[in-house]
Structure 1
């Protein structure tokens, strides 16, 4: 884990969010460092996904501060989040079954072939009619999947032929385009088999090894304890426990989730 003296990649302070009369988040704090997986856990309606959407620019906080590498930022949209180096995989993977792995990875971010100008130099082309650089995209797709130690047989396999775990792999790989500093994963192992869950957990560990800061949202405490460095508990939209994953027992985490205890720094 990164030394405490290093500024967090992500720091949120005093985040508030209400939907009408319902307080979804109240004075929530969260820090995530590079080379760190921080698990965000809590019961249903604890505020986990709301916080993830605020970090990702999908929702705007009513109050509070978001900092990246120690600098205050605003994240008014998902597009701005992407430019700031924040990548998110929500439960709805937003992938296309009729496209292959490469096409899904670069969907909306296609790379077009360069052209040689009269000066003899290569120039990028943004013309709508310019041909796609399939070789370059295929090569980058292979590099990303190799970095994740993926078991997808071919980057040209249609998504419809992949397992649920392999689809999650493609969604995680898509976040690595642009080399983000923060990756947010919302329930990445939900509804997966034991074997596919193990594969996705390996990918999460690889994200940490590659230097990314990772926020992992999950209901599965076994998954959380397997890969997280730190566990943050939300209860009724408030911080209700901070635990070092290597020391926290299952019973202690459950007690914080259910409200049997309120240990902000265990």
Structure 2
């Protein structure tokens, strides 16, 4: 595995009035690894991810992409760098089908005057979109029905696969297995592995320690707005992670 980070956050500070959500938080993820961010409620996980996704800007600190300092003024800036994020609300258009959701905001227009008049290459989008879902192993059962009528597991798989189809470097997944059943959860975890095997870095934010240890290469632990520890997942345990989250154990920075 490439040991040089594809994306880093260094000493990020973010306040909301008198509340300091991040107090010098750092983070890094390498190409082709699954990296988890864990922490108790209020630890700063969501704030850090919103900054890394370009949704918010830090008060101070630095973001580095491929070793170079960068500034993200919007999620569009992040997407231009091959960074995609799946938040808990999934951001799916319930009245559209899976293929339409995949190309939402990224529609392919016909060349020439037809494209300028708003005509899209629907057949090509449908064929390529279906192939992208199948290549990722996303078991979409219905490509033509609206996603609003699909199960939670199907919707989650569609949102993750859509992000994976466009991501070139990093995907952030915010609680992707929350509220899913056992079979649906297994499908999402398998999908995470497939994305990693394509060389894309996956960042998982989760409260499920067993899932974190199952799919992660490294685990970043946050507490009180800072990263307090980094563990190699294969050499850690639920007890150790919980101890670092709560402050019962002194954390250790990974090499």
The normalised TM-score by structure 2 is 0.95
Do residues 249 (structure 1) and 237 (structure 2) align? yes
Deviation at 1:177, TM superposition (A): 3.9
Do residues 63 (structure 1) and 51 (structure 2) align? no
CA RMSD, aligned part only? 1.5
Number of the residue aligned with 1:31: 28
Do residues 103 (structure 1) and 100 (structure 2) align? yes
Please point out which of 73, 84, 87 is paired with 1:87: 84
Number of the residue aligned with 2:172: 184
Number of the residue aligned with 1:76: 73
Deviation at 1:251, TM superposition (A): 0.7
CA distance, structure 2, for counterparts of residue 42 and residue 58 of structure 1: 20
Q: How many residue pairs get matched? A: 254
Number of the residue aligned with 2:38: 41
Deviation at 1:240, TM superposition (A): 1.6
Contact 1:37 1:215 in 2 (8 A): yes
Deviates more, 1:136-145 or 1:244-253: 136-145
Unaligned runs of 5+ in 1: 116-123
Instruction: Give secondary structure in 1 for the equivalent of 2:235.
Output: coil
CA distance, structure 2, for counterparts of residue 86 and residue 3 of structure 1: 18
Unaligned runs of 5+ in 2: none
Do residues 166 (structure 1) and 148 (structure 2) align? no
4+ long deviations beyond 4 Å: none
Do residues 135 (structure 1) and 123 (structure 2) align? yes
Within 5 Å, give how 1:185-204 maps onto structure 2. Answer: 185-204=173-192
Q: Deviations over 1:10-50 (max 9, x none)?
A: 11111111111111111111110111010000000110110
Instruction: Give secondary structure in 1 for the equivalent of 2:62.
Output: strand
Contact 2:84 2:166 in 1 (8 A): no
CA distance, structure 1, for counterparts of residue 115 and residue 7 of structure 2: 33
Could you say which structure has the higher helix fraction?
Answer: 2
Please point out which of 199, 204, 208 is paired with 2:196: 208
Contact 2:79 2:167 in 1 (8 A): no
1:49–1:68 CA distance, 2 compared to 1 (3 A): same
The normalised TM-score by structure 1 is 0.91
Deviation at 1:126, TM superposition (A): 4.4
Please point out which of 133, 138, 142 is paired with 1:145: 133
CA distance, structure 2, for counterparts of residue 24 and residue 197 of structure 1: 30
Deviates more, 1:154-163 or 1:23-32: 154-163
